[in-house]
Amino acid sequence: MDILVQQLINGLVLGSVYALVALGYTMVYGILELINFAHGEVTMFGAMIALAVISALMGAGVDLPGVVIALLGLLTAIPACMLLGYGIERLAYRPLRNAPRLAPLITAIGVSIVLQNIAMLIWGRQYISFPPILPQGHHNLLGARITDVQILILITSVVLMIALTLLVKRTQLGRAMRATAQSPQLAGLMGVNANHVISLTFIIGSGIAAVAGVLVSAYYGLAHYYMGFLLGLKAFSAAVLGGIGNLAGAMLGGLLLGVIESLGAGYIGDITGGFLGSNYQDVFAFFVLIVVLIVRPSGLLGQASHDRA
Protein backbone atom coordinates (compact mmCIF):
# COMPACT_ATOMS: atom_id res chain seq x y z
CA MET A 1 0.00 0.00 0.00
CA ASP A 2 2.67 2.48 0.99
CA ILE A 3 4.49 1.61 -2.22
CA LEU A 4 1.44 2.59 -4.26
CA VAL A 5 1.11 5.85 -2.31
CA GLN A 6 4.81 6.51 -2.90
CA GLN A 7 4.45 5.90 -6.63
CA LEU A 8 1.46 8.25 -6.73
CA ILE A 9 3.45 10.97 -4.94
CA ASN A 10 6.37 10.47 -7.34
CA GLY A 11 3.99 10.63 -10.27
CA LEU A 12 2.15 13.73 -9.10
CA VAL A 13 5.38 15.64 -8.49
CA LEU A 14 6.77 14.65 -11.88
CA GLY A 15 3.40 15.33 -13.48
CA SER A 16 3.03 18.80 -12.01
CA VAL A 17 6.37 19.75 -13.59
CA TYR A 18 5.19 18.35 -16.94
CA ALA A 19 1.98 20.33 -16.48
CA LEU A 20 3.86 23.60 -15.90
CA VAL A 21 5.86 23.17 -19.09
CA ALA A 22 2.79 21.93 -20.98
CA LEU A 23 0.99 25.19 -20.17
CA GLY A 24 3.50 27.06 -22.33
CA TYR A 25 2.95 24.72 -25.29
CA THR A 26 -0.78 24.85 -25.02
CA MET A 27 -1.03 28.66 -24.65
CA VAL A 28 1.06 29.28 -27.74
CA TYR A 29 -0.79 26.64 -29.70
CA GLY A 30 -4.11 28.04 -28.56
CA ILE A 31 -3.30 31.44 -30.02
CA LEU A 32 -1.05 30.73 -32.98
CA GLU A 33 -1.68 27.04 -33.72
CA LEU A 34 2.10 26.79 -33.59
CA ILE A 35 4.01 24.14 -31.68
CA ASN A 36 6.85 26.04 -30.06
CA PHE A 37 9.48 23.30 -29.94
CA ALA A 38 11.96 25.72 -28.37
CA HIS A 39 9.87 25.80 -25.20
CA GLY A 40 11.81 22.96 -23.56
CA GLU A 41 15.01 24.93 -24.09
CA VAL A 42 13.47 27.97 -22.39
CA THR A 43 12.91 25.68 -19.39
CA MET A 44 16.56 24.65 -19.54
CA PHE A 45 17.70 28.28 -19.72
CA GLY A 46 15.62 29.01 -16.63
CA ALA A 47 17.49 26.32 -14.70
CA MET A 48 20.89 27.37 -16.02
CA ILE A 49 20.45 31.08 -15.36
CA ALA A 50 19.14 30.46 -11.84
CA LEU A 51 22.09 28.14 -11.16
CA ALA A 52 24.57 30.71 -12.47
CA VAL A 53 23.12 33.34 -10.13
CA ILE A 54 23.01 30.94 -7.19
CA SER A 55 26.60 29.81 -7.64
CA ALA A 56 27.76 33.41 -8.15
CA LEU A 57 26.06 34.46 -4.90
CA MET A 58 27.45 31.48 -3.02
CA GLY A 59 30.88 32.00 -4.55
CA ALA A 60 30.83 35.61 -3.39
CA GLY A 61 30.13 34.34 0.13
CA VAL A 62 26.77 36.09 0.44
CA ASP A 63 25.43 35.25 3.87
CA LEU A 64 21.74 34.65 3.24
CA PRO A 65 19.48 31.68 3.98
CA GLY A 66 19.48 29.07 1.21
CA VAL A 67 15.84 29.65 0.36
CA VAL A 68 16.51 33.36 -0.23
CA ILE A 69 19.46 32.58 -2.51
CA ALA A 70 17.32 30.12 -4.47
CA LEU A 71 14.58 32.73 -4.70
CA LEU A 72 17.05 35.33 -6.02
CA GLY A 73 18.13 32.83 -8.67
CA LEU A 74 14.52 32.21 -9.59
CA LEU A 75 13.70 35.93 -9.69
CA THR A 76 16.57 36.46 -12.15
CA ALA A 77 15.63 33.46 -14.26
CA ILE A 78 11.97 34.43 -14.68
CA PRO A 79 12.49 37.86 -16.35
CA ALA A 80 15.46 36.51 -18.32
CA CYS A 81 13.33 33.70 -19.74
CA MET A 82 10.45 36.08 -20.38
CA LEU A 83 12.81 38.18 -22.44
CA LEU A 84 14.06 35.06 -24.20
CA GLY A 85 10.50 33.96 -24.98
CA TYR A 86 9.66 37.41 -26.30
CA GLY A 87 12.83 37.42 -28.42
CA ILE A 88 12.10 33.99 -29.89
CA GLU A 89 8.62 35.05 -30.93
CA ARG A 90 9.80 38.41 -32.29
CA LEU A 91 12.76 37.08 -34.27
CA ALA A 92 11.80 33.55 -35.27
CA TYR A 93 8.01 33.36 -35.45
CA ARG A 94 6.58 36.79 -36.16
CA PRO A 95 8.30 37.18 -39.56
CA LEU A 96 6.73 33.85 -40.53
CA ARG A 97 3.27 34.58 -39.17
CA ASN A 98 1.68 34.37 -42.63
CA ALA A 99 3.97 31.70 -44.04
CA PRO A 100 2.77 28.11 -44.56
CA ARG A 101 2.39 26.15 -41.32
CA LEU A 102 5.50 24.06 -41.95
CA ALA A 103 7.88 27.04 -41.97
CA PRO A 104 7.46 28.14 -38.32
CA LEU A 105 7.55 24.50 -37.24
CA ILE A 106 10.96 24.04 -38.82
CA THR A 107 12.12 27.36 -37.38
CA ALA A 108 10.97 26.17 -33.95
CA ILE A 109 13.16 23.07 -34.19
CA GLY A 110 16.02 25.26 -35.41
CA VAL A 111 15.63 27.66 -32.50
CA SER A 112 15.62 24.72 -30.12
CA ILE A 113 18.95 23.44 -31.48
CA VAL A 114 20.48 26.92 -31.52
CA LEU A 115 19.49 27.48 -27.88
CA GLN A 116 20.97 24.14 -26.87
CA ASN A 117 24.25 25.04 -28.51
CA ILE A 118 24.33 28.50 -26.97
CA ALA A 119 23.80 26.94 -23.54
CA MET A 120 26.55 24.44 -24.28
CA LEU A 121 28.95 27.22 -25.24
CA ILE A 122 28.14 29.24 -22.13
CA TRP A 123 27.94 26.51 -19.50
CA GLY A 124 29.79 23.62 -21.14
CA ARG A 125 28.76 20.02 -21.73
CA GLN A 126 29.19 19.01 -18.13
CA TYR A 127 26.35 18.39 -15.74
CA ILE A 128 26.16 21.25 -13.23
CA SER A 129 25.17 20.53 -9.66
CA PHE A 130 22.36 22.35 -7.88
CA PRO A 131 23.69 23.07 -4.38
CA PRO A 132 21.59 21.66 -1.52
CA ILE A 133 20.35 25.06 -0.36
CA LEU A 134 16.66 24.19 -0.12
CA PRO A 135 15.25 22.37 2.93
CA GLN A 136 16.16 18.68 2.69
CA GLY A 137 13.69 17.27 5.22
CA HIS A 138 10.99 14.69 4.60
CA HIS A 139 7.59 13.84 6.05
CA ASN A 140 5.50 10.76 6.46
CA LEU A 141 2.33 10.54 4.40
CA LEU A 142 0.24 7.36 4.64
CA GLY A 143 3.39 5.30 5.08
CA ALA A 144 5.19 6.93 2.16
CA ARG A 145 7.75 9.72 2.13
CA ILE A 146 7.29 13.21 0.78
CA THR A 147 10.24 15.59 0.81
CA ASP A 148 10.23 19.33 1.34
CA VAL A 149 11.30 19.90 -2.26
CA GLN A 150 8.43 17.73 -3.51
CA ILE A 151 5.95 19.73 -1.41
CA LEU A 152 7.47 22.93 -2.76
CA ILE A 153 7.03 21.70 -6.34
CA LEU A 154 3.42 20.69 -5.78
CA ILE A 155 2.46 23.96 -4.06
CA THR A 156 4.24 26.15 -6.63
CA SER A 157 2.59 24.29 -9.50
CA VAL A 158 -0.89 24.50 -8.05
CA VAL A 159 -0.51 28.22 -7.28
CA LEU A 160 0.78 28.97 -10.78
CA MET A 161 -1.96 26.94 -12.42
CA ILE A 162 -4.67 28.71 -10.43
CA ALA A 163 -3.13 32.12 -11.14
CA LEU A 164 -2.93 31.41 -14.86
CA THR A 165 -6.51 30.15 -14.99
CA LEU A 166 -7.71 33.30 -13.22
CA LEU A 167 -5.67 35.44 -15.59
CA VAL A 168 -7.19 33.87 -18.66
CA LYS A 169 -10.77 33.65 -17.36
CA ARG A 170 -11.10 36.82 -15.30
CA THR A 171 -8.91 39.61 -16.67
CA GLN A 172 -9.02 42.00 -19.58
CA LEU A 173 -5.82 40.47 -20.96
CA GLY A 174 -7.30 36.99 -20.62
CA ARG A 175 -10.32 38.06 -22.58
CA ALA A 176 -8.08 39.52 -25.29
CA MET A 177 -6.15 36.23 -25.39
CA ARG A 178 -9.31 34.20 -25.78
CA ALA A 179 -10.58 36.57 -28.44
CA THR A 180 -7.29 36.39 -30.38
CA ALA A 181 -7.37 32.61 -30.14
CA GLN A 182 -10.82 32.53 -31.70
CA SER A 183 -10.01 34.88 -34.53
CA PRO A 184 -7.04 37.25 -34.66
CA GLN A 185 -8.67 39.31 -37.42
CA LEU A 186 -11.96 39.79 -35.62
CA ALA A 187 -10.21 40.49 -32.34
CA GLY A 188 -8.20 43.14 -34.17
CA LEU A 189 -11.34 44.78 -35.44
CA MET A 190 -12.57 44.92 -31.85
CA GLY A 191 -9.49 46.88 -30.85
CA VAL A 192 -7.28 44.04 -29.62
CA ASN A 193 -3.63 44.40 -30.56
CA ALA A 194 -2.93 40.82 -31.63
CA ASN A 195 0.84 41.28 -31.64
CA HIS A 196 0.79 42.45 -28.03
CA VAL A 197 -1.38 39.54 -26.99
CA ILE A 198 0.86 37.04 -28.76
CA SER A 199 4.00 38.56 -27.22
CA LEU A 200 2.42 38.44 -23.79
CA THR A 201 1.43 34.80 -24.30
CA PHE A 202 5.05 33.91 -25.04
CA ILE A 203 6.27 35.99 -22.10
CA ILE A 204 3.88 34.40 -19.59
CA GLY A 205 4.55 30.87 -20.86
CA SER A 206 8.31 31.41 -20.70
CA GLY A 207 8.09 32.80 -17.17
CA ILE A 208 6.26 29.65 -16.06
CA ALA A 209 8.83 27.53 -17.93
CA ALA A 210 11.62 29.24 -15.98
CA VAL A 211 9.96 28.26 -12.70
CA ALA A 212 9.55 24.69 -13.95
CA GLY A 213 13.23 24.56 -14.94
CA VAL A 214 14.42 25.74 -11.55
CA LEU A 215 12.11 23.28 -9.77
CA VAL A 216 13.33 20.37 -11.90
CA SER A 217 16.99 21.11 -11.33
CA ALA A 218 16.43 21.59 -7.59
CA TYR A 219 14.54 18.28 -7.49
CA TYR A 220 17.22 16.23 -9.24
CA GLY A 221 20.14 18.29 -7.97
CA LEU A 222 21.60 18.92 -11.42
CA ALA A 223 21.15 20.72 -14.71
CA HIS A 224 22.71 20.60 -18.14
CA TYR A 225 22.28 21.94 -21.62
CA TYR A 226 20.33 18.96 -22.93
CA MET A 227 17.79 18.71 -20.10
CA GLY A 228 15.08 20.66 -21.93
CA PHE A 229 14.76 18.23 -24.80
CA LEU A 230 13.06 15.22 -23.23
CA LEU A 231 11.23 17.40 -20.72
CA GLY A 232 9.85 19.48 -23.58
CA LEU A 233 8.83 16.40 -25.52
CA LYS A 234 7.02 14.91 -22.52
CA ALA A 235 5.30 18.21 -21.74
CA PHE A 236 4.26 18.55 -25.37
CA SER A 237 2.77 15.05 -25.15
CA ALA A 238 0.98 16.08 -21.97
CA ALA A 239 -0.50 19.08 -23.76
CA VAL A 240 -1.69 16.91 -26.64
CA LEU A 241 -3.01 14.28 -24.24
CA GLY A 242 -5.10 16.87 -22.41
CA GLY A 243 -6.18 18.53 -25.62
CA ILE A 244 -3.71 21.05 -27.00
CA GLY A 245 -4.92 24.59 -26.69
CA ASN A 246 -6.82 23.83 -23.51
CA LEU A 247 -5.31 25.05 -20.21
CA ALA A 248 -7.13 22.62 -17.95
CA GLY A 249 -6.23 19.90 -20.44
CA ALA A 250 -2.52 20.68 -20.15
CA MET A 251 -2.71 20.41 -16.37
CA LEU A 252 -4.68 17.18 -16.47
CA GLY A 253 -2.47 15.76 -19.21
CA GLY A 254 0.71 16.60 -17.29
CA LEU A 255 -0.48 15.04 -14.04
CA LEU A 256 -1.80 11.96 -15.81
CA LEU A 257 1.41 11.49 -17.74
CA GLY A 258 3.52 11.74 -14.58
CA VAL A 259 1.36 9.22 -12.71
CA ILE A 260 1.21 6.80 -15.64
CA GLU A 261 4.97 6.99 -16.04
CA SER A 262 5.61 6.30 -12.35
CA LEU A 263 3.12 3.47 -12.04
CA GLY A 264 4.25 2.00 -15.35
CA ALA A 265 7.95 2.03 -14.51
CA GLY A 266 7.26 0.86 -10.96
CA TYR A 267 4.99 -2.07 -11.70
CA ILE A 268 5.56 -3.27 -15.25
CA GLY A 269 8.41 -5.58 -14.25
CA ASP A 270 6.35 -7.25 -11.52
CA ILE A 271 3.21 -7.50 -13.63
CA THR A 272 4.87 -9.01 -16.69
CA GLY A 273 7.19 -11.16 -14.63
CA GLY A 274 10.25 -9.34 -15.95
CA PHE A 275 9.25 -9.69 -19.62
CA LEU A 276 8.98 -5.92 -19.89
CA GLY A 277 11.14 -3.75 -17.67
CA SER A 278 11.50 -0.27 -16.33
CA ASN A 279 13.65 0.64 -19.35
CA TYR A 280 10.28 1.37 -20.95
CA GLN A 281 9.71 4.28 -18.54
CA ASP A 282 9.86 6.85 -21.31
CA VAL A 283 7.74 4.72 -23.62
CA PHE A 284 4.59 4.68 -21.46
CA ALA A 285 4.01 8.38 -21.93
CA PHE A 286 4.16 8.11 -25.68
CA PHE A 287 2.17 4.88 -25.77
CA VAL A 288 -0.67 6.50 -23.83
CA LEU A 289 -0.46 9.46 -26.15
CA ILE A 290 -0.87 7.28 -29.24
CA VAL A 291 -3.83 5.43 -27.73
CA VAL A 292 -5.58 8.67 -26.78
CA LEU A 293 -4.98 10.17 -30.19
CA ILE A 294 -6.47 7.13 -31.89
CA VAL A 295 -9.52 7.01 -29.64
CA ARG A 296 -9.99 10.75 -29.16
CA PRO A 297 -7.88 12.78 -31.59
CA SER A 298 -8.61 16.12 -29.94
CA GLY A 299 -7.25 14.96 -26.58
CA LEU A 300 -9.05 14.39 -23.29
CA LEU A 301 -10.48 17.88 -22.79
CA GLY A 302 -9.97 19.23 -26.28
CA GLN A 303 -12.86 20.27 -28.47
CA ALA A 304 -12.75 20.05 -32.20
CA SER A 305 -11.00 23.39 -32.68
CA HIS A 306 -13.08 26.01 -30.90
CA ASP A 307 -12.70 27.61 -27.51
CA ARG A 308 -8.93 27.34 -27.36
CA ALA A 309 -6.68 28.94 -24.76
Which positions touch another protein (CB under 8 A)?
Answer: 3, 6-7, 10-11, 13-14, 125-127, 129, 131-132, 138, 145, 147, 220-222, 224, 226-227, 230, 261-267, 269-270, 274, 277-279, 281-282
Query: Considering beta carbons, is residue 184 or 254 the nearer one to another protein?
Result: 254
> Residue 48 CB, nearest distance to another protein (Å)?
15
Give the Cα separation of 181 and 308 in Å (integer). Answer: 6
- Among 153, 102, 97, 118, residue whose Cα is nearest residue 41: 118
Query: Considering beta carbons, is residue 247 or 257 the nearer one to another protein?
Result: 257
Q: What b/e string do you get for 264-299 counting C-beta neighbours within 10 Å, with b at 16 or more?
A: bbbebeeeeeeeeeeeeeeebbeebbeebeeeeebb
* β-sheet bridge partners, residue 223: 128
> Residue 305 CB, nearest distance to another protein (Å)?
34
DSSP string, 75-87: HHHHHHHHHHHHH
> Residue 139 CB, nearest distance to another protein (Å)?
11
Query: Considering beta carbons, is residue 123 or 202 the nearer one to another protein?
Result: 123
What's the CA dihedral at 54, 122, 22, 292 to 10 degrees? -130
Angle between helix axes 2-32 and 227-242 (nearest 10 degrees) is 80
> Residue 235 CB, nearest distance to another protein (Å)?
14
DSSP 308: -
> Residue 266 CB, nearest distance to another protein (Å)?
4
Query: Considering beta carbons, is residue 88 or 218 the nearer one to another protein?
Result: 218
Cα–Cα–Cα angle for 151, 155, 161, rounded to 5 degrees: 145
Query: Considering beta carbons, is residue 33 or 282 the nearer one to another protein?
Result: 282
* β-sheet bridge partners, residue 128: 223
> Residue 193 CB, nearest distance to another protein (Å)?
41
Query: Considering beta carbons, is residue 6 or 246 the nearer one to another protein?
Result: 6
